[in-house]
Structure 1
Amino acid sequence: MKKKILIVGGIILLLIIIGSSGSKDSSNVVSEDQPNKEEIVQQEEEKPVEETMLVVTADFIDEFDKNQLAAEEKYEGRKIEFTAYIDNISEDITGTPFLSLQPSNDEYYFGTNIQCFFKDKSELISLENGQQVTVQGKVDTQMMNILIKDCKVVK
């Protein structure tokens, strides 16, 4: 009988110990599924900074005019910065604001233009046709014009 009482007492004591350890404040416990603050900061620091390629507008357009496939292979998805003249400020049929840009301010220029799409038209409100601007964006493809997405006016 004493043996049964000791076993039952041991089980009860074990349950009390287990129960009391579960009631501690768990706010300091870091789940294995969730990264801690140090890991988050480290991950943010490790993100590669996307390099911006500076291009001469006339040369960039010329590469597409000579061989669209080779130019897309070289530039597609790359972030570029270039300076050009505004030919048109508008929105496409989906309401996305864009600038149509050309390498010179010649009113008789009839070559390929660069079409830069913006997320926010407020960047374009103060601009005028004929004005020189420096723009950054990611090269997409060529469909009549060379398409650049995620554009920002630098100056």
Structure 2
Amino acid sequence: MRSAYSIVSLIAALLAFAAGTSRAYPVAAVLGAVAVGCAVWGLVLVSRKTHSGRGLAIWGLIIGGFMLLAGLGGVTSAAPEAATAAPATATTATASPATRAWTLPAQNPLPPAAPIVVQAKKFGDEYEANQIAAEHKWAGQFVQFTAPVGNINSSGVSFTDVTSSFSFTQISCRVKDETQLIPLAKGKPATVRGVVGEDQLMGVISINDCEVVG
């Protein structure tokens, strides 16, 4: 009989991966911990030869452990950013108009009027082959691509079929106007454009300030 712990471990690991790609790091860490715990019990039962499901437990342990570490890392990195952002906001609010003119942070330059049109799979293959080189090449670039929709949520839209061979690499687009997501459907192609983020986490290529254009 297949171990229920092994099955729950893999399910929790996959849910943790989905939470991580949506940047819900605390949820990813909790689900990763659940996956690891269930995987350990599943392997114990398999070792006693009372249940099967060794493969499911191993995958749950690998993915769950990875997502546990990645989730904890995401929570840790997000905390300093929130802490440093608060004083800047308070300073701007209390300063006089003349002072604010000198203390406002420099704004990022506007992207060029025409985006760089890229093929989604070639774009994804570059990150799959060498993430560091791809980040140096594409970070801050205004790009446009078309790909089948993988997932739609309040944060935006993600695309999973973005490499020539099977991988967990995906493109995650944070839209400026979520009403643009209403016409989209999972599995249907969509054309978006936005600014490529500087750092990629857990195989997710981030595109910021996205617009759905087709």
TM norm structure 2? 0.44
Q: Deviations for 1:37-86, whole angstroms, at most 9, x for unmatched residues?
A: xxxxxxxxxx9844411111111111011111110110000000101111
Q: Which residue of 2 aligns with 1:90?
A: 153
Identity of aligned residues (%): 39
Comparing both structures, which one devotes a greater share of its residues to strand?
Answer: 1
Larger Rg computed on CA atoms: 1
Match status 1:125 vs 2:182: yes
Aligned pair 1:66/2:124, yes or no?
no
Q: Could you list the runs of 5+ residues in structure 1 that have no partner in the other structure?
A: 1-46, 92-96
Q: Greater helix percent: which structure?
A: 2
Structure showing greater relative contact order (alpha-carbon pairs closer than 8 Å, 6 or more residues apart): 1
Q: In 2, distance between residues paired with 1:103 and 1:83? A: 11
TM-score, normalisation: structure 1: 0.59
SS of residue paired to 1:148: strand
**1:72 is aligned with what amino acid?**
E
Query: 2:127, 2:205 → 1: CA distance?
Result: 8
Q: How much is the aligned-residue C-alpha RMSD, in angstroms?
A: 1.9
User: How many pairs does the alignment contain?
Assistant: 100
Are residue 114 (structure 1) and residue 171 (structure 2) matched? yes
Instruction: Kindly provide the CA deviation profile for residues 77-98 of structure 1, in whole angstroms up to 9, marking residues without a partner as x.
Output: 000010111110002xxxxx21
Residue matched to 1:55: 118
CA gap 1:90/1:56 in 2 versus in 1, 3 angstroms: same
1:154 alignment partner in structure 2:
213
Partner Cα separation in structure 2 for residue 102 and residue 130 of structure 1: 10
Counterpart secondary structure, 2:200: strand
Q: Residue 143 of structure 1 aligns to a residue in which SS?
A: coil
CA distance in 1, matches of 2:188, 2:178: 17
